[in-house]
Amino acid sequence: MSLSIEGRAQVGQLLLDVELSVGPGETLAVLGPNGAGKTSLLHTLVGLRRLAAGRVALDGRVLDEPATATFVPTEARSIGVVFQDLLLFPTLDVVENVAFGLRAAGVGRADARAEAAVWLERVGLAERAGSAVDSLSGGEAQRVALARALSPRPRALLLDEPLAALDAEVRGTVRRDLRDHLAAHEGPCVLVTHDPLDAAVLADRVVVLEHGSLTAAGRLADLAARPRTAWAAELVGTNLLPGRARGAVLEVAGGSLTVAEAPGDGPVLVAVRPTAVALHRARPEGSPRNVWEGTVLAVEGFGDRVRVQMAGPVPLVAEVTAASVRDLHLVQGDRIWMSVKATEVAAYPR
């Protein structure tokens, strides 16, 4: 059982042009900036938007193919959806919300309510069956929406930012619950998210969608190690510079770096983890082979870590401890030295 799309759709000024496939029991995370076409991709898969060309297929059944005038409406696609705003029905209580998909499929009211009760038990909300949906917490509402999507036993599942509206206190708990439910789902699942932690916990693979096209695909660890676009590098918190390799020397705009393993001559992308960038008040001595003097552009703290944005021959962001910032007395506008070991520089063909 697989879900696939190979096609194009015009979304305002954006041309969505993608090719991807999700296998049985697999969860694929779709990451990308706002306006990249992530939600439009889900709408195309579920039948809320038609393709201009190409094909959508589920388990070998063609759902949308303009060339053959084939189009299966949303309600007949056997695809469950959890939208970002959940879209629970305010006039129905919790159990009737979960039973809605079953009732729409022709299941009798008593049987639909009984099956809905089973799903509420599975998501830990059996005691809220008769509650009004406006009395639910954010985490409870998310679980009701998931139960409603799963109760008709769809062949595929689509999740559009399912955790985005939750506060930090409940997000982790709901994420773990969702992971367990996805593991039990036998069909393909597509998860749209802006959070790499959601992708890391919930997905087997990730793709990056930018300007309507896929710019990267693979495991999240691969994306983090070798980002291919500025947005992907920012997502995983890595410095990314375009350059040209000449042996072990990587020429970038304004300067150069030395790498331990030469990637071969030609255009390359250069990745440096912020934690690999060391900051010094005086020019460092010893092993670092990449040393530059630069200017502090910004100092931003988060928890016990601080990101320091540097301008210089090789502009980088360093991530250091709050104690290091205090010891170095770092403030915006300071001139300081930065260094990176050659072994901490990654270069790969552009």
Kindly report, residue by residue over 21-69, the tens digit of the pLDDT: 999 999 999 999 999 999 999 999 999 999 999 999 999 999 999 999 9
Residues of the chain above pLDDT 90, percent? 71
Among 73-87, 163-177, 296-310, where is mean pLDDT lowest? 163-177
Angle at CA of residue 145, ends 144 and 146, nearest 5°: 90
Side-chain-side CA neighbours of 208 within 13 Å: the count stands at 24
Residue 282: is it exposed, middle or buried by C-beta count within 10 angstroms (0-12/13-18/19+)? exposed
Write down the mean pLDDT value for the chain.
92
Under 8 Å CB-to-CB from 35, ≥6 apart: which residues?
A: 14
Note the pLDDT of residue 350.
85
**Domain locations in the chain as residue ranges:** 3-225, 237-349
Amino acid identity of 318? A
Q: Which has the closest alpha carbon to 131: 99, 97, 158?
A: 97
Residue the block writes with tokens 């879209």: 87
Evaluate if residue 317 carries a pLDDT over 90: yes
Give the architecture (CATH level 2) of 237-349.
Beta Barrel (2.40)
pLDDT (tens digit per residue) in 202-217: 999 999 999 999 999 9
Residue the block writes with tokens 């303009």: 66
Residues of the chain above pLDDT 70, percent? 99
Coil, helix or strand at residue 346: strand
Q: What is the CATH number of domain 3-225?
A: 3.40.50.300
pLDDT (tens digit per residue) in 136-146: 988 888 889 98
Note the pLDDT of residue 224.
86
Once rounded to an integer, what is the mean pLDDT over residues 252-260?
Answer: 91
Amino acid identity of 346? A
Note the pLDDT of residue 287.
64
Q: Which has the closest alpha carbon to 92: 101, 84, 100, 83?
A: 100
Distance CA 94, CA 126 (A): 10
Q: Which helix (H) or strand (E) holds 159?
A: strand 156-160
169 vs 172, 176, 180, 302, CA distance in Å?
7, 13, 19, 17
Once rounded to an integer, what is the mean pLDDT over residues 82-106?
Answer: 89
C-alpha dihedral, 191 to 197 to 201 to 204, nearest 10°: 50
Evaluate if residue 74 carries a pLDDT over 70: yes
Note the pLDDT of residue 195.
87
> Where does the pLDDT of residue 201 fall: very low under 50, low under 70, confident under 90, or very high at 90 and above?
very high
Once rounded to an integer, what is the mean pLDDT over residues 167-178?
Answer: 83
State whether the Cα torsion 89-94-98-99 is positive or negative. negative
Note the pLDDT of residue 288.
65
Helix axes 94-104, 109-122, angle to 10 degrees: 120
Contact indicator for 52, 5 with CB cutoff of 8 Å: no
Contact indicator for 339, 284 with CB cutoff of 8 Å: yes
Q: pTM here?
A: 0.86
> Where does the pLDDT of residue 225 fall: very low under 50, low under 70, confident under 90, or very high at 90 and above?
confident
Neighbours of 285 (CB within 10 A): 8
Residue 36: is it exposed, middle or buried by C-beta count within 10 angstroms (0-12/13-18/19+)? buried
Contact indicator for 161, 192 with CB cutoff of 8 Å: yes
Q: In what order do the strands lie in the sheet containing 70-71?
A: 14-22, 3-11, 53-58, 61-65, 70-71
Distance CA 75, CA 102 (A): 11
Evaluate if residue 181 carries a pLDDT over 90: no
